[in-house]
Structure 1
C-alpha cells in the first residue's frame, strides 16, 4: 500500500528532537533554505517559514550573512527525503541544499530555545491538546541504478551540468574548462569523486550523489564567504573570501583588505594611473614587499605581470595589467595552512576580476623613482643590505657605480625598481658597469669632460647621502684639489669635500656641467685616518678608457657648452640613481 504523508507529519517523522534550541548535534544534517545579508530580512523570512512548515532555525555564517535551515536531521537520508518532498510541493526554494552545518555560527532564531508560534486570536478558547501523531518512518529510498542515474542526468539543463563541473573543479577533480558537456574529462572526474567517497566509480552521478556534491560545494563557499565586491573608487570588481578578509581603507595605490578573525589571509587591490614603464617599475618594486617572498615564479609580459612568492611562513600571488593608461590588479596573501582553500579561491578571483571607471588618486611616488614610502604606503618592505649611488651613462639606462657597491650581492637594483646585472668591473679604479635587465629611458645621462680639469675649480657631487631614505639625490659642494692619488696613482682626482657613504658612486660635476669623475671615497690606509674632507674620484679619462675596453659607449660634453647652476641641479637629479645591494 502506498503511504502518503503531509509535510507536517513528514517532518515529525524525520526531524530529531533537537530542532528548537539545544546545541547542534555534531553529525546532524540540515536543509539550508536560503541566506540573507541583512539580519532583519533573515528574521522576517525565518518567521514566515516557521509558520508555514516549522522546525526552522537561523544561524550566522562566517561571512556575516544569515542562513535559514530546516532540521536538524539524524541522517543524510532523512535530510534528502525532506528536501525532495518540500521541493516537490514548491514549499522551499529549488536551490535548497543539504548541509552538515559546520559553518553555522550563533543561532539567532528561534530565541531562548523556544519555537515561534503564530499569535492566538483574542478571546479565543484555548486549543485542545493534539493527540500524539504516530507515523511510521519512511523507508530509505534505494540508490539509483546506472540506467536510472543516466536517465535522471539527461533531465539536467545546461546550468545544472555546469554547476556540477564547477563543484568538481573546486574539489580538484575536474581540470578542464567549464563547458557543461559531460565528456571524458568530466566522466573521469566524477569517477574519481565517487571512488574517494566509497561509491561505485561509474562516472555517472546519481541524483543523491549530485545533491551531495553540490551541498559540499555550497558549504565550502559559505565557509569562505565568497562574494563579488565592486570597489567604485578603485574601479575593480572581483570575488573575495569575505569570511576571511574585510575592507579597511584606500591608501593609493591600494585598497586594503586585511585578515578577518586572524584568518592569515589578506587581499590588496591595485589601482593607479600609469604607463608601461610604471608597470615595469611596479613589477620590481612589488618584489621588495615582505608579503611577496623571494622564492616563486615570476612572469612579466608587455602589458601585465604575475608574481608568486612562498616561504615557510607565507604565500602570495600578485597579478597586474596595464590598459588604457591604467594599472589594475590584485594580491592574495595567505599562510601555508590555507594552501588547499586558496588553491580554490585564487581561480575564482582570477575568473571574476574585471575593471571599470577610473583609478585611485595618484600617489606622490612614481614606480621609476625611489618612492617606496609613498608608493607602498601602509605595507612593510624589505630593506636592502646597503645602498650607494650611481649614474646613467647612456640612453638605455646603463649605469656606472663603484665596484664595492655591488660586491657580494645576490641581487642589485637601480632605484629599487629595476634589477640589474654587473657587466664589467675594475677593482683598481673601483668601477662597475650595471646593465638593467629591462632597457630604460632615462631623462638624462652623463656627458664626460675632455682634457685636464683645472685645479681649484668648484665641484658638485650628486648622491644619495642618506641611502634609501630620500627619493632624490643630495648635492654636496667642494673643490678639485689635485690630480693623482696620494702615491702618484694615475686616473684619480683628489677632492676637498665631506661626503657620506651613500654618496659613493655618484657623479662629480665641473662648473660647466660636465662629469669630471665618479666619487670613490677614501682609500683604505693601514694605521692612518685621512681628514673627512679628503676624498677621491676616478677621473673622466680613466672612466672612458675603462668603458671603451669593455665595449660600453660614452659621450663627452661639447666644447663651449655651459650648464647654468639651476639646470645642473635638475640634470643631477635626473641622471643620478640609487644602487642597492640585496642579500
Structure 2
C-alpha cells in the first residue's frame, strides 16, 4: 500500500483530546482498494499469515480497506511495529481508529467492529539482576562457556515434613469479566461546531477538497465554510445515512478525509528522476514502475493498464515536428482529440472506447523532452443527464495528469542516446520504439477517376467504417454506391491533385489478352502498389452478367478495388471483392467490373470519366510507374 502522505499526520488535527474512550478500537490498516474483488483478494492474502484480518467499506466512498484488529491503541501500535519488523505488511501501513470503516464484508458474517479491542499481553515479571539479558530480535541467546558461571551444587533435600491432615485447596476466585466497550458517542451539533472552530484555514481547505472530490462541493477552495460548504456537508450526511445538520462531526470529517486519502493510496504519486532521460516528474508509482528503454522512450508500465512514457532525444525544431507526426500514427494516440503544435512544443490528446491519452513534448536544453500518460477507459454506463451510454470516468487520471504537468522538468542536457535499449528492443514494422502503430481495420485498393481526387473502390472496402483514409493521409467519404456491382465512389475531404487519373477503355479487350491488376496486395505494408499479372478468361460474369468479366489471376484481398490494366495502361475494369457467404471461388478465379459499367456509374454521379480507345504497349517499368501514380491505398478505421 503506497501512500501520498501519512494518514496519521493528515488526521491528527481532527481528533480533539478526550473524544476517544478507553475502550475505543484501533486497527492496523494495511491496504486500500478501489474494487470489492481486489479488496477480498487482499484480505485473503494477508489472512494466510496474519490473524484478525478484516475488510471494510470506507464510508460511502466506494473504496475498501484491509485492516487488522481490533486492538487498544497501544496494542495496535505494538502490532504495527511487529508486522513491519517481520516484513509482513507494507512499510506505509498505519494505525487507524474505527471511524472510517462502515460495513464489514470479509470474513463473511463477522462483525469485528462490535468486538472488544485486544489489549497488550500482561507485562512479565522483572528479571533478577543476575539473569542473562534477552537476545536481540532475530538472534539466539547462547552462553559463553568460558565465562558462564559454574552451576550451583544441588541443595540437600529437606527432611520429610510431618504428616498433616489433608485439606481441600481453596478455590481461586473467578476472573472478573472484561467491561463491555462503551459505545462511541456522536458529538452534538454544538460540540461539532466547537471542534470545527479549532480547525486551521488549511485544514478547512483540505475538507473542502475532499468534499469536492466526492462530488458534493462545487465552489471555490477558500477555507470559508459558507452556504456552499454547508450544503455540501448536508448532502454528504444525507448520502451516508447521518442526521442532516450541515455541520460535520469529528468522526464524519475523518470519514470524508479517509475516503479521499484512499484515492491517493491507490495512486502513489511520487517524484521520479530518470537520469538517463534527463527528466524529473511525478508519476503514479503505485500503478506503474520502470520497464525498459527504447529510444526515444522510457517505458513505465503496470498491471492496471496505465502506462507512462517519458520522451527524450537530441534534436531541433525539425525533429520535434517529425516526432509530432510519428506519434499520431501510434495505437496509443487515438485520432479523435485536440492537437496543438507551436514553435517549441506540442500537445496531443486522444480518446477512443479503449483508452485516453495525453502527450506533451518541448524543446529544452538542446533536446526534445516530454511525457505520455496512457489511461484505460472504464466500462460504459448510462448518463442520466443525457440518456446516453458514456465511459465511466476514472477521476484519478485528472489528479495524475495535473501532477505530471506541473512537476515535469528537464534536469539538464542529458538525453537518451539513439541506441538506448536497442539490444532488448523488439524489432517490428508494427512498432515504433516499443509502441504499436495504429492499424486500419482493413486495407484495400482504389484508383483516381477525376483530377480533384475522386476514387473508385469496392463497397466491401468501406462497409461499416467510422473513418476512411486515402494513402493513410487524407480523409474521404462515400458519396455513391452500386450494390449490384459492389463499387463505391469516394470523395476526399480536401481537393487532391493526382499525378495520374484512370483512362477507361471503351470496349472489351480480346480473350486471353494479358492484363495486370495494381493493388496494395499486403494491406499497405509496402509503400507502393504491386502488379499481379493474369489474363482475360471470359467477357461475362459467372452467371452471364455483361457488366462483369472473369479473369485468371492469383490476386490478394488487398488488391480488390484496384484498376485492371491492359499492356498499354488503359483501365479495362476494377477488381471486385470475392463473393460473400459460403460460396468460394477457386484461387485463380477473379472477377472484374468492366470499364464501360464504371463509366456509366461515374456519369450518373456527375463525373465525366477519361476514356480511351487505344490499346498500346508499355514497358513493365512504365506500366509500374503509371500504376503507382494512379492507385490509392483505401483504409477503413473503426
State the TM-score bracket (shorter-chain normalisation). Answer: 0.5 to 0.7
Give the 3 Å change call, closer, same or farther, for CA 67–275 of structure 1 in structure 2.
Answer: closer
CA positional deviation for 1:373: 2.2
Partner of residue 518 from structure 2, selected from 451, 454, 462:
462
Instruction: State the distance in 1 between where 2:608 and 2:360 align.
Output: 35
CA positional deviation for 1:447: 0.8
Instruction: State the distance in 2 between where 1:509 and 1:179 align.
Output: 74
Please say if 1:423 is aligned against 2:479: yes
Instruction: State the distance in 2 between where 1:198 and 1:535 align.
Output: 72
Q: Which residue of 2 aligns with 1:447?
A: 501
Partner of residue 518 from structure 1, selected from 574, 586, 591:
574
Please say if 1:318 is aligned against 2:357: yes
Instruction: State the distance in 2 between where 1:394 and 1:327 align.
Output: 43
Instruction: State the distance in 1 between where 2:82 and 2:249 align.
Output: 29
Please say if 1:203 is aligned against 2:246: yes
CA positional deviation for 1:459: 5.0
Give the 3 Å change call, closer, same or farther, for CA 528–177 of structure 1 in structure 2.
Answer: closer
Instruction: State the distance in 2 between where 1:544 and 1:503 align.
Output: 20
CA positional deviation for 1:168: 1.9
- Give the RMSD, CA atoms, in angstroms: 6.1
Q: Which residue of 2 aligns with 1:167?
A: 210
Give the 3 Å change call, closer, same or farther, for CA 483–569 of structure 1 in structure 2.
Answer: same
Q: Which residue of 1 aligns with 2:396?
A: 345
Partner of residue 226 from structure 1, selected from 263, 269, 273:
269
- CA contact 2:269–2:282 (8 Å) conserved in 1: yes
Please say if 1:300 is aligned against 2:340: no
Deviations 1:462-503 (A, max 9, x none): 2233447x3445522436759954699766667664323331
- CA contact 2:440–2:636 (8 Å) conserved in 1: no
Please say if 1:266 is aligned against 2:266: no
CA positional deviation for 1:204: 4.1
Give the 3 Å change call, closer, same or farther, for CA 74–308 of structure 1 in structure 2.
Answer: same
Count of paired positions: 455
Matches within 5 A, 1:134-145: 145=191
Q: Which residue of 2 aligns with 1:101?
A: none
- CA contact 2:267–2:287 (8 Å) conserved in 1: yes
CA positional deviation for 1:380: 11
Q: Which residue of 2 aligns with 1:331?
A: 374
More helix, by proportion = 1
- CA contact 2:531–2:624 (8 Å) conserved in 1: no
**In structure 2, the residue corresponding to 1:300 is in which secondary structure?**
coil
Matches within 5 A, 1:465-476: 465-467=521-523, 470-472=525-527, 474-476=529-531
Deviations 1:325-365 (A, max 9, x none): 9996432127769x999723122133234366799979xxx
**Larger radius of gyration, structure 1 or 2?**
2
Q: Which residue of 2 aligns with 1:151?
A: 197
CA positional deviation for 1:307: 1.8
**In structure 2, the residue corresponding to 1:67 is in which secondary structure?**
coil
- CA contact 1:413–1:420 (8 Å) conserved in 2: yes
- CA contact 2:455–2:490 (8 Å) conserved in 1: yes
Q: Which residue of 2 aligns with 1:93?
A: none
Q: Which residue of 2 aligns with 1:100?
A: none
- CA contact 1:318–1:330 (8 Å) conserved in 2: yes
Q: TM-score, normalised by structure 2?
A: 0.52
**In structure 1, the residue corresponding to 2:576 is in which secondary structure?**
strand
CA positional deviation for 1:505: 1.0
Greater mean alpha carbon deviation, residues 426-435 or residues 22-31: 22-31
- CA contact 1:393–1:399 (8 Å) conserved in 2: yes
**In structure 2, the residue corresponding to 1:498 is in which secondary structure?**
coil
Instruction: State the distance in 2 between where 1:441 and 1:359 align.
Output: 41
Give the 3 Å change call, closer, same or farther, for CA 474–410 of structure 1 in structure 2.
Answer: closer
Partner of residue 373 from structure 1, selected from 407, 422, 430:
430
Partner of residue 502 from structure 1, selected from 558, 568, 583:
558
Matches within 5 A, 1:63-74: 66-67=91-92, 69=94
Deviations 1:428-470 (A, max 9, x none): 443212346xx368794651226658869865422233447x3
Give the 3 Å change call, closer, same or farther, for CA 396–196 of structure 1 in structure 2.
Answer: farther
Gaps of 5+ in 1: 1-10, 32-45, 78-110, 115-138, 288-297, 310-314, 363-370
Please say if 1:244 is aligned against 2:292: no
Gaps of 5+ in 2: 1-19, 29-48, 52-66, 101-135, 140-183, 312-319, 341-347, 381-389, 420-427
Deviations 1:516-562 (A, max 9, x none): 542237899xx997893x655445554344223213576689x9x99
Instruction: State the distance in 2 between where 1:236 and 1:390 align.
Output: 46
- CA contact 2:449–2:502 (8 Å) conserved in 1: no
Give the 3 Å change call, closer, same or farther, for CA 565–229 of structure 1 in structure 2.
Answer: farther
Q: Which residue of 1 aligns with 2:603?
A: 548
Instruction: State the distance in 2 between where 1:269 and 1:576 align.
Output: 38
Give the 3 Å change call, closer, same or farther, for CA 142–187 of structure 1 in structure 2.
Answer: closer
